[in-house]
Structure 1
Amino acid sequence: SARGLMVSTFHTLGLNILRKEHSHLGYRPGFSIFDAQDSLAVLRDLMGRDFAADSEHAEKCQWQISEWKNQLILPDQAMSIAEDEQQASAAKVYQRYVDALKAYNAVDFDDLILKPVLLFREHAEVLKKWQARIHYLLVDEYQDTNGCQYELVKQLVGIREALTVVGDDDQSVYSWRGARPENLVQLQKDFPRLKLIKLEQNYRSMGRILRAANELISHNPHIFDKKLWSAMGEGDPIRVIGCRDDEHESEKVVSELLYHKLKNQADFKDYAILYRSNHQSRPIERVLREHNVPYFLSGGTSFFSRVEVKDIMAYLRLLANQDDDNAFLRVINTPRRGIGASTLQALGNYASKRNTSMFGACFEMGLAEQLSEKAMHKLEHFTKWLIDIADRAKRGNLMEAIRDMIEEIDYRAWLEEVTGDPNQATRRMDNVEELLTWIARIIDNDTVEQSIGDIASRLTLMDILERQEDENQADAVHLMTLHAAKGLEFPHVFIIGMEEEILPHRTSIEEDGIEEERRLAYVGITRAQRSLVFTLANSRKRYGEKTECENPKSIQKNVKNVAKHIYLIFAVC
């Protein structure tokens, strides 16, 4: 019955389109997808030619370019709409960034939506093919779509208008990522035949929880008015716990959780502790560990997603498979070897015409006609060195060859250069040593001799299994930000740090973003199924010093009306 059904995220759909239609956009097969760290490295390299490419400035430009891509603003438009010096800097590097990605035969995360939209604009026959493939389109979480995603939906639906969307403007909490809840309003203009169906009965939460959520969000303007209700009963009273400081708050939350678990014979996995910002989890984690309470920190950085681990893994992949263009592109200038984007573009074009890998193309005589003698020498030096390492690994001691490789590229010095901080470089190098320890264990524990390819595959599988084990841990308390909690549900929820400048966040108060803070709290409240607890503190440690917290204006001690309490926190600022 599910035959012909396609279920995917916007970005997965975009990737599928690009994989099938890449030639129309001038990309070669096997194009790379650059993550945020890869993209930032490209920007730093480009910006370094014009001005000091400090990390913060490069990151701001990266964010601005991403914002423009999400709203379908191309490089030629960006310069004309730049409103300040920061935007002008981003606009200046935007086109060169696009060109550099093309030279690397790569796209970034935002391109997975932008490129299909541009493809469909420029190639009507390709659009018709995809419209014929997708007869009916259902889009969930529509309030989180950005301008580019909305355009993709319009293109795919076409004149047939076989479209269903599900959305809640009260749960739009990603404006900082380009989300536009007003897309729900735009739907009525672009698709006037759409019928509105309100889903107001809630099958997750008890009545008290829903009334608190309704009271809170009623102070925001609405695209569509609604009022959640439940037929599941009132449930436990919502509790508000005042604490001396963040340490006391952590101890109180954990003790309340343990008491509630014992009293109700619940599991640890039934509990979630939600917070506005990641730093709030640290004291909670410490107390949980002290009490031997298992927990899962959602959004934690995977070992294999760290830049330094990805670098060394890319070297291993390329040693094992010289046809891996993605690995080649990652390591060719890690560390810098003076091989620029124009050289890589010429190499990529030549490799594509010859139907070979970029690594293999470096050994063909015809390449010398496309490159300068200096560029050719640099490529030959790198590829011959890598083949020598691969030969040493095959004929001699594998572990010794890998260590030699890391030493010969002087990776520690590279880390010091890119971080600008010897201590941070040491921490990153420790992760490399941890990776080498894992490799040594694989070699020592297997009776069959392992090749570099075997090791790279084993490590990748270990990463996948480790993530699955963490995420599916049988019984552990969930710790996550309110943003990460969106779409999830838990029987019992604690929301900590319910005080001004934390929730609502200081930046949102200063930038008149209180409505989104209400929506964020609304999301947190409606994650709870049976019980809900709020905590706030009189003081917190910030940057190593204790500072007094501003309790919500007009709030009275021992507030019994929780809905009023929340209202005061978010409405009176």
Structure 2
Amino acid sequence: LEFRQDFPGTDVVVLEQNYRSTQNILDAANAVIGNNFDTSMSKRLFSDRGPGERITGFTGVTQHDEAQFVADEIDNLHTGGMAYRDMAVFYRTNAQTRALEDVLMRSGVPYRLIGGTKFYERMEIKDVLAYLAAVANPDDGLAHRRILNTPKRGIGDVTESAIQRFADDNQISFREAMRQIESVGVAARATATVREFVNALDRISGTVATAKVVDVLIALLEATGYLILLKESRDPQENARAENVEELVGLTREFQVKSPEGTLIDFLTEVALSSAADDLDDESGTVSLMTLHTAKGLEFDAVFITGIEEEILPHRISVAEAGGIQEERRLFYVGITRAKKKLHLSLATSRATFGDIASCMPSRFLAEIPDSLVDWRESGRRSLSPSFEKRSWDAPSKPRTEWTGAITREVRDNSGLELVIGDRIRHDDFGEGQVVAVTGDGAKRIAEVQFDEVGKKKLLIKIAPIAKV
């Protein structure tokens, strides 16, 4: 930006013609980046590809509403001839992928994460699920061994091996061997640490039968300090892991709202069904899921930018930093300009966060895009539209397109369910419908169902919340 000051008299050639995107997309990008302060060498992109389609905007009640909108739009684009490989979904933080992965998988959309790991395969999620498994089942030796020194509490491999050997010799569980740590014969410091740890596990296990799943998880995180250590770290990667753990806490909250009588075992079973689902494949490739940072330098026919809310985009940490808002705006600009033909912008009015359901405000960046460029749609479950001036939610002043895909989060084990064309089914969220096509084999079977009220949708039979009528 200081090039002209350092080299006075230099001729500056501004490259403003864009050969990738349509003009509506570029107009949105120009409007957004024009609000940054560093405009001494600004440029206004233009294209000879014509105005193109208007941008599609969507406001959902929850992140699952938003994710179902993404899945439905992807299916519509694919039905219209666009290959999965030509579509991408962007998000600001990796923690946002959980709802997207759940819904894309259930909707039979093949996807892959670029530059990241699937939610349930992330180290911190496996750690926390191992804690839950340990308090749910004291005989789960693998879970206990995983969490014994996680986070680090001074229990080394020698102590772990000694406990396992004592358990094997006495034909007792690893947990019971921990309870008898004074007889194992390890160092006094390790003995005291194991004693304190197993007492905490036993105390929390005693609450499992009556406590809510979210309360069990919060008790574990508080007793072990797992989350606070991640949040207080100066390593940004550790902070990102903390966001993933908070997303898992939010998942337990969603589970309890959906299943008030649901137990910890029920929750772990549901997670196991979701995380064990096989990757889907299609001859037209897979939809790419990635962070906005990863998206730099790439291009796709259709792009979905999700979670455009205050504290997500712009991110709450960046808001407090000097120049942070400008950098977040540039990141949004990058995401917009990755789209060649079709751009989707989406947000939710509420998200499950640490221990609660939090209201979300639309991002200030959305107010910078002219209304004439965006066709807004809304969840059919609630009549809301973003009021950008106040960054709040108001009843729409004029009719908006209503979207009929609002969902709750539900999976089940349908391994033995056989469906054929013509079968009538009932879906927990979409109501009754008729099967019009069945494709794939085994765990990858996908049913295409014409629902009476919400239209046609694809479902992964293995885990969809459906039953024959």
Taking structure 2 as the reference length, the TM-score comes to 0.44
> Which structure is higher in RCO with an 8 Å CA cutoff and minimum separation 6?
2
Taking structure 1 as the reference length, the TM-score comes to 0.36
Q: Which has the larger radius of gyration?
A: 1
More strand, by proportion: 2
